[in-house]
Amino acid sequence: MNLWQNYVRPKTLSEAMDAFAHAPRPLAPIAGGTDLLLDLEQGRHSPVQTLIDVTSIAEMTALEVRGDELFIGASVPVNRIVLDPLAVPHAQALTEACNLIAGPQVRNVATLGGNVAHALPAADGTIALLALDAQAEIASLALSGADGQAQAVETERSRRAGVGTYRIPFKDLFLGPGKSSLKQGEELLVGFYIQTLKVSKTFRVSSCFKRIMRPQGVALPILNCAVWIEREKDVVKDIRIAVGPGGGTPFRAAQAEDTLRGGPLNDAIFDSALEALLTQAQFRTSARRASADYRRHIVTGLFKDVIESAWGRAG
Ligand SMILES: Cc1cc2nc3c(=O)[nH]c(=O)nc-3n(C[C@H](O)[C@H](O)[C@H](O)COP(=O)(O)OP(=O)(O)OC[C@H]3O[C@@H](n4cnc5c(N)ncnc54)[C@H](O)[C@@H]3O)c2cc1C
């Protein structure tokens, strides 16, 4: 049995929106296919008539600095992010996360957009983007006419491409395990914006991502953690912490951040921050990976390790 009937490969966002408007439904975007093809084959994804391949859309394969932001297109394969000379300085946690996804063959085709759109609370790229406080750009059929012309609020760049897009804070993309806020068959992730690294004489910024994984495994981790930190001498000026899976959606440890923000980093403060994290996080038991209790147990070491690495890098 064929898993799909039509396969289209648009070259521009405008062509992609045209396919969204006119191709036989149900339809779904496909990027690397490392999640979607298995899900279709094993019945975890509802049947599709049309697959829209988003890997040849120029706007979605760009990785470049735009003003004071780094733009990473949703169709950029994660292996390219690992090696990219712009991503390493501006988004170190993300490059570290992408370098740990699966094995080399998967990393060559798996995209950052696919990692995010699947909306899993422990997806590695997702957890790094959350700590980096990314914004997501979304192309929308509702904002683009059937003739491919942008109709409403759109970015300068997307107006040029003739398509209506909008931006949302990254965390607002997630509604529940495996459930994103993207309107199925109407919206497409175009890419992600991350603030470029600020350079200052008084403070330094860095980030770090690590995960705990079964030694033999190439799949989602047992636990992962990403930290972004702004350090002014011996004070944590600002901090963002993401842990996966710490709940039904990708989790920001906001209470631990509040505990750490504005003070020095010492053992007593770290213990208070850990307590805040353990109070706020809702660790889940997953059949194939780990129990909630085990995750509560091992988070201490991972959390300390990631914070100390990020702190050291900003020193
Ligand atoms: C062996 C193996 C190991 C893995 N290990 C890991 C791991 O260690 N860590 C990890 O996080 N993940 C892992 N994964 C999961 C997967 O490879 C990644 O999540 C990958 O980044 C998905 O990207 P993709 O391009 O292949 O997505 P696809 O499979 O093409 O798509 C996934 C979903 O996203 C949708 N989609 C794709 N692009 C867009 C877009 N631009 N806009 C809107 N919707 C879109 C698709 O319709 C589909 O629903 C693993 C998978 C395999 C098979």
- pLDDT, position 171: 96
Ligand 1 binding pocket (C-beta < 6 A) is 28-36, 54, 74, 78, 101-102, 106, 110-111, 113-115, 117-118, 123-124, 182, 188-189, 218-220
pLDDT at 68: 95
Ligand 1: centre distance to CA 136 (Å): 16
pLDDT in tens, the chain (315 residues): 789 999 999 999 999 999 999 999 999 999 999 999 999 999 999 999 999 999 999 999 999 999 999 999 999 999 999 999 999 999 999 999 999 999 999 999 999 999 999 999 999 999 999 999 999 999 999 887 654 445 445 555 666 567 899 999 999 999 999 999 999 999 999 999 999 987 777 889 999 999 999 876 678 899 999 999 999 999 999 999 999 999 999 999 999 999 999 999 999 999 999 999 999 999 989 888 899 999 999 999 999 999 999 999 998
**Centre of ligand 1 from the C-alpha of residue 111, in Å:** 6
Query: Which one, of 153, 157, 164, lies nearest residue 14 by Cα?
Result: 164
Q: Which two tokens stand for residue 30?
A: 């496909």
Burial class (CB in 10 A: 0-12, 13-18, 19+), 233: exposed
- pTM for the structure as a whole: 0.95
In the prediction, which pLDDT does 9 show? Answer: 98
Ligand 1 centre distance from Cα of residue 30 (Å)? 9
Token pair in block for residue 300: 């201490």
Contacts of 274 (CB under 8 A, 6+ apart): 256, 299, 300, 303, 304
Cα of 123 from ligand 1 centre, angstroms? 9
Mutation to probe ligand 1, out of 3, 35, 50, 192 (largest number of atoms < 8 A from CB) = 35
**What pLDDT does 148 receive?**
47
The whole-number pLDDT of residue 160 equals: 58
Token pair 């408007």: residue: 21
- Specify the pLDDT at position 218: 73
